[in-house]
Amino acid sequence: MDYNGVLVGLGNPGARYEGTRHNCGFALIDAFVDFGYRHGTVDEMNGGKFSCQLWRVRLPRLDGCWLAAKPQTFMNLSGQCVQPLLSWHKLKAADLVVAHDELDIPPGELRFKFGGGNAGHNGLKSITELLGTPDFYRLRMGIGRPPHKGDVTNWVLGRPQGEDAENLDHILPLALDVLFAFADKGLDSAVRLAGKTTRPRKPVRQTANAEASNNSPEASATPQNKDNT
């Protein structure tokens, strides 16, 4: 079967990581698949050979069929899912859209781009290394930076609270609109639409350490030699 594209949402597997900032890519896949069930057709596929959860989504707004995947590797091994997934389906890096959290974008905002660096994101780094190219599309979902510079790990593995959580809920439908704009009209349209997103209001953030003690996964939960950030 021919596919128009592949949407991969990045995150860490397991209940302990559900709802964390680092898993906003997973949240977008959930929203995309749910939209597919309501407005098109969705087939759940066997993604075991690619170490991922995998769906085939047909939507009129996509003018065809897309694959949607949630890697079940840890974040820094995401390429071990993406590379064989593309290879098996005879797709190129340029057919790939990766949805991921972005520290350098304020919560509630989106950006869309093609290629570029990884900005320290281990999931993007793994994908770039195993594909042998950075030339794929990125749907960047803003999570902002922690109040204290050294708390990045606790921040991305923490669960947003209050207005910060509302910001994530706010951008999920907007992110779908950006994806549909890309599928329908191409890169420039998606870039313009993503650039129009603004924070609904400035979140009042807890410190990352406070969030870590209340609701983030324990560092000891990370398997040895695997980085979940």
Active-site positions read: 22
**Cβ–Cβ < 8 Å for 19, 6:** no
User: Angle at Cα 138 formed by Cα 11 and Cα 209, nearest 5°?
Assistant: 40
Closest C-alpha among 154, 152, 161 to residue 213? 154
Q: Is 76 annotated as a binding residue?
A: yes
Torsions phi, psi of 113, nearest 5? -155, 170
154: helix, coil or strand?
helix
The closest alpha carbon to 198, from 110, 90, 102, 81, belongs to 110
Q: Are 72 and 123 in contact (CB under 8 A)?
A: no
Q: Is 37 annotated as a binding residue?
A: no
CA distance 77 to 189: 31
| Gap between the Cα atoms of 206 and 223, Å rounded | 27
Establish whether 122 is an annotated binding residue.
yes
Nearest 10 degrees: CA dihedral of 6, 10, 14, 17? Answer: -150
- Annotated ligand binding at 3? The verdict is no
β-pair partners for 139? 99, 112
- Which segments are annotated as binding site for tRNA? 17, 74, 76, 122
